[in-house]
Every structure is written in C-alpha cells, then in structure tokens.
Structure 1
C-alpha cells in the first residue's frame, strides 16, 4: 500500500508546506507514495524519484506549479501526475521531462510558453490522458508514448513530435493552431486515430526521414499547407480520414509511398492528391471533391496508383505532367469546370475503366514524343467540347472507349499520333474522329452513330487510316480536305441521306460498302494559259523561245487575238 503525504501551504496536522519537502520525505522512506496537494500556487521545481503519484486533492485546476525559469517537473522512476497545472516559460529546458522509467499525466494541464512542454527521453515511456498542452510541443525522443483524449493548443512549433526511433500512439485528441505541424514523425513510428487536427501553419501531420505514420479515422481541416505529408522515403497508411480546406489534401514525394484507403479530400485550395518529386503512393476508394486546381496531380517523377476513386466538382480531374507517371483504374470523374484527364510534357499515364461525365473536356495530351497515354475501357459522356484531344508529338492509344454526346469525339493535331481500337462515338454535333495539322489517326473496328457533322475527317496534311469502320446516320461519314490523305478499308456507311465520303483524291477507298454518294471535291480551275503573240517577226515566221514554255496558246501575224476557255465538256465557265 502506498504511503500518503499531504501538502498544504496553510499547514495542518502532518501536512507538508510544499511539494518538495513531501517528495524528500517519500524518497527517504523508499516506498510507493501518494502525495495529495491542497489548492494553491506552488512556485517550485519538482524532481520526482521512485514510485510517486502527485494528485490535486480537490480535483483538476486547483493546483498550479510554476517557475519563471527552468524545469517544473523532472521524473525518474514510475511517476504519475493527476489534476495539476504545470507552467513554465524557459525555452532552454523541458517544462516536464521524463528521464528514466515511466511518466503518466492524467487530467493535467501543461503550459509551456516557450520550448518543450513534455519530453520523453530515450528508453522512457510517457502517457498523457485527458490532458491539455498549451503553447509548447510534446516530444518523444527514442521513447514510447501514448496520448488519449488530450488537447494541444497553439503550439509555437510542432504540437507532437516523434523522433529518433520513438513509438507513439495518439487517440481521440484534438490538435489546433500549431505554428508548424500538428504531428511530425521523423525516423520514428506513430499512429494517430480518431483525432481532429486544425489550423496548422504547415502540414497538419507529416512523416519524414523513413518515418512510419498511420492515420486512421481523423478529421483534418483549415491547414495553411498540406493536410497530410509523406516525404523522404517515409511509409505508412491513411484510412477513413477526411481532409477539408487544406492547400493540398495529401502530398507524397522524395520516395515516400503510403497506402491511402477510404479517405476524402474536400475543398482543397490547390490539389487533393499530389504526388511529386519521385513520390509514390497507392490510393484506393478515395474521393476528391471541389479541388480548386487539380484533384489528382502527379508531376516530376511522381508515380501513384489510383484505384476505385471518385473525383467530382472543381477544376481539373487528373493531371500527369513534367515526367510524372501514374496508373488509374476504375475512376469516376464528373461535373468539373475544366479538363477531366490531362497528360502533358513527357508524362506517361494508363487509364482503365474510367468514367467521365459532364465535363468540358475529356482527355488532353500534349508534349513531345515521350508524352504517352493509354486508355482502356473508358466512357466519356456529355463532354461539351471533346472527349479526347491530343497535340504536339504525344502518343495516345484508346481501346474500348466510348464517347457519347458533345461536340467532338476523338481528335489528333500537331504531329501527334492517335491509335483507336474497338471504340465508338455517338450523338456528337461536330465530328467523331478527326486528324488536323500533321496529326496521324489509325483506327480499327470503330463506329460513329448520329453525328450531326462529320463521322471522320482530316484536314491540313493529316493522315487518317480507318479499317472496319461503321458510320450510321452521319451528315458526312468521312471528309478529307486540303492535303489530308489516308485510306478507308472495309468500311460501311449506313443511312438514307447525306454523303458517304467527300475526299480530295488522296484517299484510298478499299471495299467501301454504301448506298450513299462518294464525292470528290471540285478541283480549282487551272490558271489561264499564257498567251504569246508575235507580230511581224522579221527573222522567223513564228515565235522564238529561249527556254521551255508550258500551257501556252500561240498566235502570230494577227492584229487581234481573242481567247475563250471552256470546261472539259466544251461549255463556257
């Protein structure tokens, strides 16, 4: 049974006038002790050794222990504190420090106006329950830590830091107003469960330098930077967590690769999911809503895998740029103000089973020959501009892709290459398949139904190669203008009105099946031939030429010449 000591500045029978004297008496006896402290303000520095429990006799908030300089409590042994308020202002020391053994702070308030509020040193164990930490940071250095139902307010630095091999668990707590991070894990392990983190100056929770961080069922909001940040080869997980009103919902970079499941990133001021600078990460069953710039962003060597996720509202859906990579499967993108899928500048992306609805643009690809995208099993529906548009020298492959309603189906321009297989376009107002500029379009087993304009067309010096294409109820099934070339092989044009093919003579029509007319553009009239008139040549009875002359009409020894040009059928133009 623990020995009991009473501390009261008013004195009394067997009462000690201060806490320090009671501690000395308990240490002298060398056994477990309970020190009950009467209400009051005690200006002391407490050094606690052995198995000691310090308790406020009349409950939390009734006892204040403080010092203007130096530590307030140093623990050596098995120490517990219940209901005290511990306050200090010295940035050079730990206000509360556990040097050996274990320290438990229960229903305790720690005020550290500068520096460290609580410090668990190497090989110790510190527990905080139902406690409040104001202004200072709580640090675990190579120690074990357990935090339950606590509040950390207005830390001038990080609210909680786990470093140098520490192992920390934070449950059911609230972290608010930290000037830097809410929780930082560096070369250590930490899990944060069922917590609220809000109003941090930098990333709300961060893992760096091979740290391991698990975030579960947390709510993170109103942070000035990232909601969650994984960097420097850190690892971990994020499960069933919501991030709201952060600059970036979650960022991974420099080799970090968390697994993120069932989480929501809402109303982010820039990006929702951001993977950059060789960052990694797996994202499953997540939602990104109303990201102001980009919902899912991979850039500068980032390489995420994103599966079974939904993007809704906001500006751009998924953007892979500047050498970024990414694999995206079973993704829904809807109701954006901008482009659903974007692949730019030497980026590479693979999209599988993607559904895009009610966006101005579907997929955009632009960049040099290192810019590639593969799309398999996608549906683009109600895209107000174009389902797929690629430019530059980029290369895109589409397999089993459907575009329904909108202006344009699939278009390629610049010097880009678009390959399409087993795909269809329906109900567009402008065109189904298009190649412009010097773009190249190769399509196999495609269908275009109900285009109010063109089924397929080429302009400029583009090349269009379509095999096994079916065009139904299009105003013009295929059109080739300017110097556009190509071929239509084993194609079928169905309908009761319109034109099957309108071409410029540079297109091979192989086994075209249709009852509709095939029209060749009317050639521009040739320039009128040059007229050479030689009158009264004194040397030769005819004209003299000093070089080759073509397409001329000649007349000589005539005082008057009249030329009339006719069409090929002999009629006048």
Structure 2
C-alpha cells in the first residue's frame, strides 16, 4: 500500500511544513509513498530515495522548488515528479543517480547549468514538460522524451553521450546556442520534432554515434539542419529542413541513409558530403539552394537516387578527389550549371532529366577527372548540354540534348566519347572539338542545328563513325585550322547548306549525302562573320568557315560563390 504525505507551509492536520521533512518521514517507513505538495515556493534541495511520487496538489506550475546555488532534485530509486517547477543555477538542477526518474508536466529552469542529468545505468523519462535555459544530459543511461519543449539552451539543448540510448518524440527545441541535440558515441532517435533557431547544426552525430530522425521539421538554423561526422551512422526519413546554411551534411567517414526529405532555401548547400564520408540519399528534394544543391568534395562518395533539384545556382558539384553516383534525378530551373565534375573527381550520372539550366554538364581537371553519363536528357540549356576541358575524360551513352547553343563540346586536352546519342534543334552545333580536344562519336545523330552538325578547330582530333547529320543550316560537318581525324560511314541530309567543309586533314570515308562537299581551298557563301565570347562553351555564328570561338575567355567573369571544402563560401 502507498503511504500518503501532505506538505503545506500553512500547516494542517498531519501536514509537513516542507518537502524535505515529508521525504524523511517516508524514507523512515521504507514504503512506497505519495507526497502531495500545496502551492507555494520552497527553498529546498530535495534528496529522494526509494519508491516516491511527488505531486503538485493543485496542478502544474503551482509549486516552485529552487535554490540560489546547488542541486534541486537528487533522485535514486523509482521516483516520479508531477507538476513541479524546479529552478537552479550553475549545477545539475535535477539528477538521477540510480534507478528510474520520471518527470511529467514539470518545468526545469537552469540558468547556466545542466537542467536534467541522467547518470550511467539510469532510466529517465521526461514527458509534457518544459526545459528552459539549460541542457538535458543523458550519460550512459536510457531516456525517453515525449511532447516537451526545450528553449534557449546556452549550448546543446539535449546531449546523448557515452553509450546512452534516448528517444525524443513530438518535442520542440528552439533557440539553442550550439546544437538542438548532439549524440556522441551513443544512440538517439528523434521523431516528429520541430527544431528552430539553433546556432550550429540542429541535430548532430559524432564519435561513431547512431542518429535516427523521422518526420521532423527544422527551420532557421545557422549551421546544418542535420550533421553526421566521425564515422557516425543513422537514417533521416521524411524530414524537412528550411532556411539552414546546409541542409544535411556528412563528413569524417560518416555514412547516413536519407530518404524522402525536403531541403529548401538552404543558404549554401542542400546536401554536403565531404572528407571521406559516404551516404545514400533517396527521393529527396533540394529546392532553391543559394550555392550548390548537392556538394561532394574532399574524398566524399555518396549515392543519390531519385528526387528533384529545382531552383538555385548549381545542381550537383563533385570536386577535389570526390566520387559520386547519381540516378533518376530531375534537375531544373537553375541559374548556373546542372552538373559539375572538377579536380581529380569522378561521377556517374544515369537516367537524369536536366531542364532549363544555364549549362548541363561541365567537367574540368587532370586526367583523373572522369564522368559517365547514360540514359540522360538535357533540354533547354542556355549554353552547352555538355562542355568539358582540361584533361578530363567523359563518356556519354544514350544522351539527348535538345535546344540551346551547343550539344556536346570538348576543349583543351580533354577526351569526350559519345555513343548512341541525339542532339536536336541547337542554334550553334551538335558536337564540337577545339584546342587539343578529342571527340570520339559512334551513332551520333544531329537534327536541325542552326549552324553545324559537328565541327573541329585548333589541333583537335575527331573520330566520327556511323553518325548522321540532318537539316543543319550551314554544314553537316566543318573542320578548320589544324583539326584532324576521320568521318566514317556517316550521312548528311537536308536541303540547305553543304555536307562537309574540309581542311585537308580529316579523312572522309563512305559519306552518304546529296549536298556539296567543300575541300580545303573552297569557301562557302554565307552571312558576315560574327564573334561571340562565352565562358563555359562555344557559341557558333552563321558562317561554316573561319568560325571564331572563345571558350574559357579569362575576360568574362562567372558570378558564382565558390564553396570551400568545409562547405563555406569564400
């Protein structure tokens, strides 16, 4: 049977004048006890042992227990607190040293200290409660937090460390100076929560921790919405991050699984994977990123499957010895480039749909810079669907480019291989090589180019086989300067322009055409020559001979914030 004790400063029959005296009486009897506390403010430090229940007799907020310094509640055993307000400073306001502690409809105000401390091997439950101006610390024990509010913590609102296992459900965390929740070398589950206004990452996992997040909303964060570091693992499902600096980040060998999330209006990046982190991202939407929607750098190697990138600056950027696999993604309405592979990095793009971006794919870097693109469509890119330079190597298979200026272009010492691909209705050229670039094409089709089907200039090398060029306004193929190579088993069809403008260095074998073929000494008639400078790719003017191309012109600036390895802008 539970023994009942009444606490009332005003006195009364069998009433105790303070909570401490009631606790002593209950401990002396050694039985489960219910302590009912009348309204008032109690300047006490409570040491609670055994099977005890402390209740505010007239409901939550009617009883305030506090001390200017030192702990307010020290629990061991099986302790339940209902409706009390606990106020303390500088140290643990409430602590569980052994057994289990349950706090319900309780408010803890910790001015600069730890609001609630769950020690190793304890179990602490916090339900329908408020924690203000302090942090809740789970060290090595088990915890359950339900429908609580954490506000204005001076560092982390909730910390889960040293092997603890904690679930936080349906709660609000706001205004934390550092993190909303940090899990380190421990396990935390965060479900159905709202986090806002944190100074750094709203949720963060480090030191091989496991963090599971589902159905959360994260807003107005000065750092990452969710961050995994130091070989941490976990999952994020159906969560929205809005207005963070970075949506979801992974670094230091972390490997999260992220599914069905929305990362909107992030100031820098939506997904940020770096320093040997991995990660799998499925069916996520990255909307309106200020700099880069998906940024992979410094050895990062994620897989991104499905989802959509819409609005913002750059779509996917893989740089500084990073790797990535990207499948089934829609990329649309960007003010800059959809896909970038730079600086000794490698990426595979399969089944992508790129629409209404300034450029499609850019690749630039040393010979270790590679990209493979398959079963992908580029539509309405303002400049080039694909433009590569440096010593990069890119392979295209079953790729479609529709409208824009250039289909596929290669410059510098780069190498571009194109197979079973189609370019339609571009205003400049279907494919081209300049500088010392190498263009190798098999089964390439160019339809309705406003100028050229394929072209070569500088000292470029072109190997075009089993390809067709139809209805190109000026020429099916044009070779200028020192460009060399071969055109084998190709067809040029149409009613205007010429079939080939040669320079004496490109061999033509089994060409099928009813149009005129111009040799090196001949010049076709055409409109006056024009010169157009474009930073990321060539633009072609009317004539098919002596075309002037400026690709990578240093006098033309590209307005884009560069993201450093740590995800910050420079």
Instruction: Indicate the residue corresponding to 1:80 in structure 2.
Output: 80
The SS at the match of 2:138 is strand
Mapping 1:354-365, distance limit 5 Å: 354-365=352-363
Instruction: Indicate the residue corresponding to 2:13 in structure 1.
Output: 13
- Which structure 1 segments of 5+ residues have no match? 525-573
Mapping 1:131-530, distance limit 5 Å: 131-475=129-473, 476-522=475-521
Instruction: Please state how far the C-alpha of 1:221 moved relative to its aligned partner.
Output: 0.7
CA distance in 2, matches of 1:436, 1:43: 83
**1:138-193 superposed Cα distances (whole Å, 9 cap, x missing partner):** 00000000000000000011000110000000000000000110000000001000
Q: Which has the larger radius of gyration?
A: 1
**1:377-434 superposed Cα distances (whole Å, 9 cap, x missing partner):** 0000011101000010000000000000111100000110000000010000000000
Instruction: Please state how far the C-alpha of 1:523 moved relative to its aligned partner.
Output: 7.0
CA distance in 2, matches of 1:307, 1:76: 49
The SS at the match of 2:121 is coil
Instruction: Please state how far the C-alpha of 1:481 moved relative to its aligned partner.
Output: 0.6
Instruction: Indicate the residue corresponding to 2:567 in structure 1.
Output: none
Instruction: Please state how far the C-alpha of 1:521 moved relative to its aligned partner.
Output: 3.3
**1:38-92 superposed Cα distances (whole Å, 9 cap, x missing partner):** 00000000000011000100000000000001000000100010000000012xx
CA distance in 1, matches of 2:113, 2:412: 60
1:523–1:513 CA distance, 2 compared to 1 (3 A) = closer
CA distance in 1, matches of 2:76, 2:281: 45
**1:504-533 superposed Cα distances (whole Å, 9 cap, x missing partner):** 111100000000000023279xxxxxxxxx
CA distance in 2, matches of 1:169, 1:2: 30
Instruction: Please state how far the C-alpha of 1:486 moved relative to its aligned partner.
Output: 1.2
**1:105-141 superposed Cα distances (whole Å, 9 cap, x missing partner):** 0000000001210000000000000000001100000
CA distance in 2, matches of 1:459, 1:494: 23
CA distance in 2, matches of 1:419, 1:390: 11
Instruction: Indicate the residue corresponding to 1:34 in structure 2.
Output: 34
CA distance in 1, matches of 2:76, 2:441: 77
Instruction: Indicate the residue corresponding to 2:53 in structure 1.
Output: 53
CA distance in 2, matches of 1:420, 1:445: 8
**1:313-364 superposed Cα distances (whole Å, 9 cap, x missing partner):** 0000000001111000111100001000000000100000011000010000
CA distance in 2, matches of 1:212, 1:391: 42
The SS at the match of 1:285 is strand
Instruction: Indicate the residue corresponding to 1:567 in structure 2.
Output: none
Instruction: Indicate the residue corresponding to 2:540 in structure 1.
Output: none
Instruction: Indicate the residue corresponding to 1:44 in structure 2.
Output: 44
Instruction: Indicate the residue corresponding to 2:92 in structure 1.
Output: 94
CA distance in 2, matches of 1:278, 1:30: 57
Instruction: Indicate the residue corresponding to 2:121 in structure 1.
Output: 123
CA distance in 1, matches of 2:337, 2:370: 17
Q: How many residues were matched structurally?
A: 522
CA distance in 2, matches of 1:337, 1:80: 58
**1:245-300 superposed Cα distances (whole Å, 9 cap, x missing partner):** 00000110111001000001000000000000001100001000000000001000
The SS at the match of 1:12 is coil
**1:540-570 superposed Cα distances (whole Å, 9 cap, x missing partner):** xxxxxxxxxxxxxxxxxxxxxxxxxxxxxxx
CA distance in 1, matches of 2:514, 2:468: 13
CA distance in 2, matches of 1:404, 1:226: 37
The SS at the match of 2:428 is strand
Instruction: Indicate the residue corresponding to 2:70 in structure 1.
Output: 70
The SS at the match of 1:23 is helix
CA distance in 2, matches of 1:43, 1:27: 21
The SS at the match of 1:27 is helix
TM-score of the aligned structures, taking structure 1 as reference length: 0.91
CA distance in 1, matches of 2:398, 2:327: 14
CA distance in 2, matches of 1:520, 1:43: 102
TM-score of the aligned structures, taking structure 2 as reference length: 0.91
| Structure having greater relative contact order (Cα 8 Å, sep ≥ 6) | 2
- Which structure 2 segments of 5+ residues have no match? 524-570
Structure 1 segments, 4+ long, off by >4 Å, are none
Instruction: Please state how far the C-alpha of 1:496 moved relative to its aligned partner.
Output: 1.5
CA distance in 2, matches of 1:221, 1:347: 32
- Alignment RMSD (CA, Å): 0.8
The SS at the match of 1:301 is coil
